[in-house]
Amino acid sequence: MDKKMEQLKREYLETPIPDELEFVVEKALKKKKRNVARYNWLIGFGAAAVMFVSFINTSPFIAKATTGIPVVSDIIQVLTFREFTFKGERHHADIDVPTIQNLDDPSLESTLNQKYLEEGKQLYDELINSIGDINSSLSVIHSNFEIKTDNETILSLGREVVRFTQAGSSNKEMSFDTIDKKNKLLITLPMLFKDDRYIDVISQNIIQQMKQQEEESEHSYYFNAEDSIETIRKLDNFYINSEGKLVISYNKYEVAAGVMGRVEFIIPTDVISDLLVSHEYIK
């Protein structure tokens, strides 16, 4: 039985993952018709994922036990799907790959879980490829995940990656996915607003917050807004916090000096209220 399980594990991990993952981001609150062939393929992947998760829960080959799994709700769960680990004299990788279960949407669930697995593999390969590379100072990669928000409406899942160099410096990055648990869809920023006016409104509010922080604290060092305005306007890393507020996140060096690390801006709801499609998510 153990040999069969090991074979299943090996076959699953060798399954090729599509180069580009097509998120279910264009469907609004009314679900659109799916492409039948793609849907059937994703259902098949979802079935394989369920089988492999069962293997994780019973196999001694997986280092991470399921004890202490964070429960998202009575139905939806987020657990550690796989660990990529490596320990050498100067290099170390410790990468947790999350998986979402019981979302009741095989397409969205499988697409997200594919993305998380691919991210984990890429981080592991990055560390392994740095070994023996005289031009690389990378020493350690650590990755985990955390639930930023879990309520009746949404689940916001953050994935953290920390890189350490041989000189002792570090860089922390975060990325987020926010899911509508009721309607089973991945929430994108444009989906929340009536039109693209929100880009300028939010960008200007962020610049105001930057200036205010610099006035109030001598330890705040943001880049010149004119120089970084295009980065500010991307607004591509966000989540909705437990108070129902929109949070825009920027990783280290994107909009501020390295000493500030990763920075976040909570956007006041009254600033964007008139632009929202509804207040289902943003309160």
Confidence label for 53 from pLDDT (cuts 50, 70 and 90): very low
57 plus 154 within the same structural domain: yes
133 plus 231 within the same structural domain: no
| Confidence (pLDDT) at 31 | 40
| Confidence (pLDDT) at 7 | 54
Please tell me the least confidently modeled range out of 26-40, 113-127, 248-262. Answer: 26-40
> 66-118 pLDDT, tens per residue?
334 444 444 688 999 899 999 999 999 999 999 999 988 899 999 999 999 99
Given 186, 208, 232, the domain boundary residue is: 186
Any domain includes 281: no
62 plus 161 within the same structural domain: yes
| Confidence (pLDDT) at 6 | 53
> 166-211 pLDDT, tens per residue?
999 999 999 999 999 999 999 999 999 999 999 999 999 999 999 9
| Confidence (pLDDT) at 261 | 93
Please, are residues 94 and 85 in contact by the beta-carbon 8 Å criterion? Answer: yes
> For residues 266 and 30, which has the higher predicted lDDT (pLDDT)?
266
Average pLDDT, the chain: 81
Taking residues 257-268, report their average pLDDT.
Answer: 95
- The 10 Å CB-count burial string (b at 16+, else e) for 199-232 is bebbbebbbebbeebeeeeeebebbebeebeeeb
Confidence label for 58 from pLDDT (cuts 50, 70 and 90): very low
> For residues 227 and 123, which has the higher predicted lDDT (pLDDT)?
123
pTM of the model: 0.74
> 123-159 pLDDT, tens per residue?
999 999 999 899 999 999 999 999 999 999 999 999 9
Any domain includes 283: no
Given 152, 186, 220, the domain boundary residue is: 186
Given 186, 204, 219, the domain boundary residue is: 186
Domain range holding 128? Answer: 2-186
Please, are residues 161 and 141 in contact by the beta-carbon 8 Å criterion? Answer: yes
63 plus 138 within the same structural domain: yes
- Does the pLDDT of residue 277 top 50, yes or no? yes
Taking residues 20-39, report their average pLDDT.
Answer: 37
210 plus 149 within the same structural domain: no
Taking residues 257-271, report their average pLDDT.
Answer: 96
| Confidence (pLDDT) at 132 | 87
The total domain count for the chain is: 2
- Does the pLDDT of residue 120 top 80, yes or no? yes
203 plus 168 within the same structural domain: no
Distance of alpha carbon 102 from the chain centroid: 18
105 plus 175 within the same structural domain: yes
| Confidence (pLDDT) at 10 | 56
